[in-house]
Amino acid sequence: MRSARLRAELSQEQLAERLGVPRSSIARWEIESVEPGFSTLRRVLHACGFDLSLALVPFERDLERDARIKEVQRLTPQERLRGMVDGLEER
């Protein structure tokens, strides 16, 4: 969203006025503290003069990544944190 706003040379305030929303909404979307729905995203992009190209593309599963995710999900929060700290210490 931020990229579209900047390419359209709009301030957050200007975009907020076009959309009829508070400037704080634009800021929250841009820092990803709030994730807008798809229809809101399209509305924002249209206000900036852009649109999304909606094309279906094949999605290839990454079985190794899926297995790692399942493995991590089985860990307790403490075990996950320990793994992250150990990874940082190895650097």
Q: How many domains does the chain contain in total?
A: 2
pLDDT tens sequence across 36-88? 999 999 999 999 999 988 888 888 889 998 998 899 899 998 998 888 888 77
Q: Which amino acid belongs to residue 13?
A: E
Asked if the structure places residue 11 within a domain, the reply is: yes
Contacts with 12 (C-beta within 8 Å, 6 or more apart), sequence order: 5, 23, 26, 27, 30
Range of the domain at 35: 2-47
Whether residue 47 contacts residue 19, with contact meaning beta carbons closer than 8 Å, is answered with yes
Same domain, 13 and 37: yes
Alpha carbons 14 and 20: distance in angstroms, whole number: 10
For residue 18, which of 35, 28, 5, 31 has the smallest C-alpha distance? 5
Same domain, 9 and 42: yes
Asked if the structure places residue 87 within a domain, the reply is: yes
Same domain, 9 and 33: yes
Same domain, 8 and 39: yes
The predicted model scores a pTM of 0.59
